[in-house]
């Protein structure tokens, strides 16, 4: 008898069909590169911890359907990439990540105020308001990743 206790539930946005829709409609190589960069920077041993430690969903309905993917770390949303739409056409992408404020300051060796000043033209910093973050997290948003012409 097959043991199904460790088989993840299949959410609509975690299906192979959504992956192929992402591939057909958007820049799949860019989405994969951005997701991979986040995973290698934020998750220890991402290949060994997928499903139990983190998961990724393609084209989730969250965010008015503009997200290319969402990465969850356990039950917490860790990052997502979404589209910028201008006149009905994808004009760029936005990447949002959530980080623990103290971890960010320790890893960078800089207080948050200095990081905000230093990267004010490239990154939007905000307090993450979801209750699961308990006031400790900061959201970092890369303002725009341009679409290749």
* Cα distance between residue 105 and residue 65, in whole Å: 33
Q: What is the mean pLDDT of residues 67-96?
A: 90
Q: For the whole model, what pTM was predicted?
A: 0.80
CA distance linking residue 71 with residue 56, whole number of Å? 4
Location of structure tokens 């960069």: 37
Task: Parse the chain into domains and list their residue ranges.
Answer: 12-146
Q: What is the pLDDT of residues 96-147, one digit of tens each?
A: 999 989 999 999 999 999 999 999 988 989 887 777 767 778 888 886 666 6
> What DSSP designation does 147 have?
P
Q: What is the pLDDT of residues 79-88, one digit of tens each?
A: 999 998 889 8
């Amino acid at each position: 008898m097959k043991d199904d206790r460790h088989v993840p539930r299949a959410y609509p946005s975690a299906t192979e069909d959504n992956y192929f829709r992402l591939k057909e409609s958007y820049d799949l190589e860019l989405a994969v590169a951005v997701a991979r960069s986040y995973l290698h920077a934020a998750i220890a041993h991402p290949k060994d911890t997928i499903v139990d430690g983190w998961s990724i969903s393609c084209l989730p309905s969250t965010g008015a359907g503009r997200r290319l993917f969402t990465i969850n770390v356990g039950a917490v949303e860790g990052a997502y990439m979404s589209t910028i739409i201008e006149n009905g056409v994808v004009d760029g992408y936005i990447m949002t990540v959530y980080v623990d404020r103290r971890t960010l300051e320790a890893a960078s060796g800089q207080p948050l105020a200095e990081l905000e000043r230093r990267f004010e033209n490239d990154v939007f910093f905000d307090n993450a308001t979801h209750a699961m973050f308990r006031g400790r997290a900061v959201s970092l948003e890369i303002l725009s990743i341009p679409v290749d012409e």
